[in-house]
Chains A and B, each alone.
Chain A
Amino acid sequence: EIVLTQSPGTLSLSPGERATLSCRASLAIGHDYLAWYVQRPGQAPRLLIYGIFRRATGVADRFSGSGSGTDFTLTISRLEPEDFAVYYCQQYDYSPITFGQGTRLEIK
Protein backbone atom coordinates (compact mmCIF):
# COMPACT_ATOMS: atom_id res chain seq x y z
CA GLU A 1 0.00 0.00 0.00
CA ILE A 2 1.03 3.60 -0.55
CA VAL A 3 2.69 5.21 2.46
CA LEU A 4 2.20 8.93 2.95
CA THR A 5 4.72 10.66 5.19
CA GLN A 6 3.80 14.09 6.53
CA SER A 7 6.27 16.61 7.86
CA PRO A 8 6.79 18.16 10.23
CA GLY A 9 4.99 16.15 12.89
CA THR A 10 4.27 19.34 14.81
CA LEU A 11 4.48 22.91 13.54
CA SER A 12 4.48 25.82 16.00
CA LEU A 13 3.48 29.17 14.54
CA SER A 14 1.68 32.35 15.49
CA PRO A 15 -1.60 33.73 14.11
CA GLY A 16 -0.96 35.72 10.95
CA GLU A 17 2.05 33.64 9.94
CA ARG A 18 2.31 31.38 6.90
CA ALA A 19 2.18 27.60 7.35
CA THR A 20 3.67 25.06 4.96
CA LEU A 21 2.79 21.40 5.49
CA SER A 22 4.35 18.60 3.44
CA CYS A 23 3.16 15.17 2.35
CA ARG A 24 5.44 12.71 0.57
CA ALA A 25 4.17 9.54 -1.10
CA SER A 26 6.06 6.27 -1.42
CA LEU A 27 4.95 6.06 -5.06
CA ALA A 28 3.93 8.72 -7.56
CA ILE A 29 0.28 9.73 -7.22
CA GLY A 30 -1.54 9.85 -10.54
CA HIS A 31 -4.70 11.60 -11.70
CA ASP A 32 -4.09 14.33 -9.08
CA TYR A 33 -5.73 12.03 -6.51
CA LEU A 34 -4.43 13.74 -3.37
CA ALA A 35 -6.59 15.41 -0.72
CA TRP A 36 -6.14 17.26 2.56
CA TYR A 37 -8.38 17.16 5.65
CA VAL A 38 -8.40 19.16 8.88
CA GLN A 39 -9.48 17.79 12.23
CA ARG A 40 -10.20 20.08 15.13
CA PRO A 41 -10.28 18.67 18.69
CA GLY A 42 -13.36 16.58 19.36
CA GLN A 43 -14.58 16.87 15.78
CA ALA A 44 -14.69 14.67 12.73
CA PRO A 45 -12.23 15.44 9.94
CA ARG A 46 -13.36 17.88 7.29
CA LEU A 47 -12.34 18.01 3.63
CA LEU A 48 -10.18 21.01 2.72
CA ILE A 49 -8.53 20.27 -0.61
CA TYR A 50 -8.98 17.56 -3.25
CA GLY A 51 -7.38 16.94 -6.63
CA ILE A 52 -4.14 18.41 -5.19
CA PHE A 53 -5.32 22.04 -5.38
CA ARG A 54 -9.13 22.20 -5.56
CA ARG A 55 -10.71 23.80 -2.50
CA ALA A 56 -13.79 22.11 -1.10
CA THR A 57 -17.01 24.06 -0.80
CA GLY A 58 -16.79 26.79 1.81
CA VAL A 59 -13.04 26.55 2.34
CA ALA A 60 -11.30 29.90 2.72
CA ASP A 61 -8.91 30.98 -0.04
CA ARG A 62 -6.03 31.24 2.45
CA PHE A 63 -5.77 27.45 2.02
CA SER A 64 -3.97 26.24 -1.09
CA GLY A 65 -2.60 22.93 -2.28
CA SER A 66 0.21 22.18 -4.69
CA GLY A 67 2.61 19.50 -5.81
CA SER A 68 2.88 16.54 -8.12
CA GLY A 69 4.32 13.05 -8.32
CA THR A 70 5.39 12.18 -4.80
CA ASP A 71 5.64 15.60 -3.13
CA PHE A 72 2.68 17.71 -2.08
CA THR A 73 2.18 20.83 0.00
CA LEU A 74 -0.66 22.45 1.89
CA THR A 75 -0.10 26.15 2.46
CA ILE A 76 -2.08 28.37 4.80
CA SER A 77 -1.20 31.94 3.87
CA ARG A 78 -2.21 33.75 7.08
CA LEU A 79 -3.08 31.65 10.09
CA GLU A 80 -6.35 32.30 11.86
CA PRO A 81 -7.00 31.01 15.41
CA GLU A 82 -9.32 28.28 14.10
CA ASP A 83 -6.57 26.89 11.84
CA PHE A 84 -4.64 25.40 14.76
CA ALA A 85 -5.60 21.75 14.39
CA VAL A 86 -4.35 18.49 12.88
CA TYR A 87 -4.02 18.13 9.10
CA TYR A 88 -4.02 14.86 7.16
CA CYS A 89 -3.17 14.16 3.55
CA GLN A 90 -4.89 11.27 1.75
CA GLN A 91 -4.25 9.49 -1.53
CA TYR A 92 -7.10 7.92 -3.43
CA ASP A 93 -5.22 6.85 -6.54
CA TYR A 94 -4.30 3.40 -5.27
CA SER A 95 -6.27 0.82 -3.34
CA PRO A 96 -6.43 0.84 -0.39
CA ILE A 97 -6.96 4.51 0.30
CA THR A 98 -4.29 5.69 2.74
CA PHE A 99 -3.70 8.70 4.95
CA GLY A 100 -0.60 10.40 6.26
CA GLN A 101 0.04 10.29 9.98
CA GLY A 102 -0.92 13.94 10.39
CA THR A 103 0.72 17.28 11.13
CA ARG A 104 -0.29 19.07 14.32
CA LEU A 105 -0.36 22.85 13.87
CA GLU A 106 -0.07 24.48 17.28
CA ILE A 107 0.02 28.06 18.53
CA LYS A 108 3.52 29.28 19.31
Chain B
Amino acid sequence: EVQLVESGGGLVQPGGSLRLSCATSGFTFSDHYMDWVRQAPGKGLEYVGRSRLKADSYRTEYAASVEGRFTISRDESQSSLYLQMNSLKTEDTAVYYCVRDVGGVYNFWGQGTLVTVSS
Protein backbone atom coordinates (compact mmCIF):
# COMPACT_ATOMS: atom_id res chain seq x y z
CA GLU B 1 0.00 0.00 0.00
CA VAL B 2 1.37 3.39 -1.03
CA GLN B 3 1.74 5.77 1.91
CA LEU B 4 2.96 9.36 2.09
CA VAL B 5 3.24 10.88 5.55
CA GLU B 6 4.16 14.53 5.99
CA SER B 7 5.54 16.04 9.17
CA GLY B 8 7.28 19.17 10.37
CA GLY B 9 4.49 21.73 10.10
CA GLY B 10 3.79 24.27 12.81
CA LEU B 11 3.72 27.93 13.74
CA VAL B 12 6.61 30.12 12.58
CA GLN B 13 7.17 33.86 12.54
CA PRO B 14 7.48 35.82 9.29
CA GLY B 15 11.06 35.61 8.05
CA GLY B 16 11.58 32.29 9.79
CA SER B 17 12.39 28.84 8.46
CA LEU B 18 10.81 25.41 8.60
CA ARG B 19 11.66 22.02 7.14
CA LEU B 20 8.93 19.63 6.10
CA SER B 21 9.47 15.92 5.65
CA CYS B 22 7.54 13.30 3.72
CA ALA B 23 8.15 9.67 4.57
CA THR B 24 7.05 7.27 1.86
CA SER B 25 6.47 3.53 1.60
CA GLY B 26 4.79 0.98 -0.60
CA PHE B 27 6.50 1.92 -3.87
CA THR B 28 9.95 2.39 -5.37
CA PHE B 29 10.69 5.97 -4.33
CA SER B 30 13.71 6.30 -6.62
CA ASP B 31 11.52 5.63 -9.68
CA HIS B 32 9.20 8.56 -9.11
CA TYR B 33 9.13 12.33 -9.38
CA MET B 34 7.80 13.77 -6.15
CA ASP B 35 6.12 17.13 -5.75
CA TRP B 36 4.84 19.50 -3.09
CA VAL B 37 1.41 21.10 -3.45
CA ARG B 38 -0.09 23.54 -0.97
CA GLN B 39 -3.54 24.80 -0.06
CA ALA B 40 -4.10 28.05 1.83
CA PRO B 41 -7.00 27.96 4.30
CA GLY B 42 -10.28 27.92 2.41
CA LYS B 43 -8.50 28.25 -0.93
CA GLY B 44 -7.58 26.09 -3.91
CA LEU B 45 -4.53 24.00 -4.77
CA GLU B 46 -1.17 25.49 -5.70
CA TYR B 47 1.85 23.69 -7.15
CA VAL B 48 4.98 24.40 -5.09
CA GLY B 49 7.69 22.38 -6.79
CA ARG B 50 9.04 19.09 -8.08
CA SER B 51 11.93 16.75 -7.40
CA ARG B 52 13.15 14.76 -10.40
CA LEU B 53 15.18 11.53 -10.56
CA LYS B 54 18.85 10.60 -10.39
CA ALA B 55 18.76 10.21 -14.18
CA ASP B 56 17.72 13.89 -14.33
CA SER B 57 20.53 14.84 -11.94
CA TYR B 58 17.89 15.28 -9.23
CA ARG B 59 16.87 18.52 -10.91
CA THR B 60 14.26 20.54 -9.07
CA GLU B 61 11.80 23.18 -10.21
CA TYR B 62 9.69 25.67 -8.29
CA ALA B 63 6.69 27.90 -8.56
CA ALA B 64 7.60 31.55 -9.04
CA SER B 65 6.02 32.37 -5.67
CA VAL B 66 8.60 30.28 -3.77
CA GLU B 67 11.64 30.32 -6.09
CA GLY B 68 14.77 31.30 -4.19
CA ARG B 69 13.17 30.72 -0.78
CA PHE B 70 12.16 27.04 -0.86
CA THR B 71 14.39 24.04 -1.58
CA ILE B 72 13.21 20.52 -2.32
CA SER B 73 15.50 17.59 -1.67
CA ARG B 74 15.20 13.84 -1.46
CA ASP B 75 16.97 11.03 0.40
CA GLU B 76 16.52 7.82 -1.53
CA SER B 77 18.09 5.73 1.25
CA GLN B 78 15.21 6.87 3.48
CA SER B 79 12.56 7.06 0.72
CA SER B 80 11.90 10.57 1.94
CA LEU B 81 11.20 13.96 0.43
CA TYR B 82 11.93 17.29 2.08
CA LEU B 83 10.90 20.91 1.72
CA GLN B 84 13.18 23.51 3.27
CA MET B 85 11.29 26.79 3.57
CA ASN B 86 13.20 29.98 4.32
CA SER B 87 12.19 33.64 4.52
CA LEU B 88 8.64 32.59 5.19
CA LYS B 89 5.81 35.04 4.53
CA THR B 90 2.29 35.16 5.90
CA GLU B 91 1.04 34.14 2.44
CA ASP B 92 2.92 30.85 2.77
CA THR B 93 0.38 29.77 5.41
CA ALA B 94 -1.17 26.58 4.03
CA VAL B 95 -1.52 22.85 4.29
CA TYR B 96 1.42 21.33 2.44
CA TYR B 97 0.88 18.06 0.62
CA CYS B 98 3.52 15.63 -0.57
CA VAL B 99 2.38 13.98 -3.81
CA ARG B 100 3.62 11.20 -6.05
CA ASP B 101 4.00 12.53 -9.57
CA VAL B 102 3.50 10.24 -12.56
CA GLY B 103 3.99 12.35 -15.65
CA GLY B 104 2.32 15.27 -13.89
CA VAL B 105 -0.59 13.21 -12.60
CA TYR B 106 -0.87 13.18 -8.82
CA ASN B 107 -2.08 9.68 -8.10
CA PHE B 108 -1.18 9.58 -4.42
CA TRP B 109 -1.33 12.33 -1.81
CA GLY B 110 -0.23 12.54 1.79
CA GLN B 111 -2.61 13.78 4.46
CA GLY B 112 -0.88 17.16 4.58
CA THR B 113 0.85 19.19 7.26
CA LEU B 114 -0.23 22.70 8.30
CA VAL B 115 2.24 25.55 8.21
CA THR B 116 1.15 28.79 9.86
CA VAL B 117 3.26 31.91 9.37
CA SER B 118 2.23 34.54 11.88
CA SER B 119 3.68 36.88 14.46
Interface assignment of B45: CB less than 8 Å from any CB of chain A: yes
Give the shortest distance, in Å, between A95 (CB) and chain B (any CB).
7
Cα-based distance from A96 to B47 in the complex (angstroms): 7
Complex contact A95–B110 (CB within 8 A): no
Cα-based distance from A66 to B45 in the complex (angstroms): 22
Cα-based distance from A98 to B45 in the complex (angstroms): 8
List of B residues within 8 angstroms of A90 by Cβ: 45, 106
The total of chain A residues at the interface (CB under 8 A) is: 23
List of B residues within 8 angstroms of A50 by Cβ: 105, 107
Scan A51-66; emit 1 where CB is below 8 A from any B CB, else 0. Answer: 1000010000000000
Which segment, of A11-19, A20-28, A70-78, A99-107, faces chain B? Answer: A99-107
Scan A24-52; emit 1 where CB is below 8 A from any B CB, else 0. Answer: 00000000010101000000111100110
Ordered nearest first, which 3 A-B pairs have the shortest CB separation? Answer: A92-B104, A44-B109, A99-B45
Contacts A1-B64, A50-B105 supplied; 14 other A-B pairs, CB < 8 Å: A35-B105, A44-B97, A44-B109, A44-B111, A45-B45, A45-B109, A46-B109, A47-B106, A47-B107, A56-B107, A88-B44, A96-B61, A96-B64, A99-B46
